[in-house]
A and B are shown apart, each in its own frame.
Chain A
Amino acid sequence: SQKIEQNSEALNIQEGKTATLTCNYTNYSPAYLQWYRQDPGRGPVFLLLIRENEKEKRKERLKVTFDTTLKQSLFHITASQPADSATYLCAREVGNQGGKLIFGQGTELSVKP
Chain B
Amino acid sequence: EAGVAQSPRYKIIEKRQSVAFWCNPISGHATLYWYQQILGQGPKLLIQFQNNGVVDDSQLPKDRFSAERLKGVDSTLKIQPAKLEDSAVYLCASSLDMANTEAFFGQGTRLTVV
Contacts and interface: CB of A to CB of B under 8 A. Distances in A.
A64 to B, nearest CB: 14
Contacts, number: 64
Interface residues of B, number: 27
B43 A100 contact: no
B48 interface: yes
B45 A98 contact: no
Nearest to B44: A103
A98 B42 contact: no
B108 A100 contact: no
Contacts of B35: 103
Nearest to A108: B40
A103 B105 CA distance: 14
A46 B105 CA distance: 9
Interface string A77-113: 0000000000001010100011111111110000000
Contacts of B108: 42-43
Nearest to A89: B42
B107 A99 contact: no
A49 interface: yes
B104 A103 contact: no
Given A43-B108, A100-B56, A93 B101 contact: yes
A98 B98 contact: yes
A34 interface: yes
6 closest residue pairs by CB, A with B: A43-B105, A103-B42, A99-B98, A99-B101, A98-B98, A105-B42
Given A98-B55, A99-B48, A104-B42, 8 more contacts: A34-B102, A44-B103, A46-B103, A46-B104, A89-B42, A91-B42, A100-B48, A102-B45
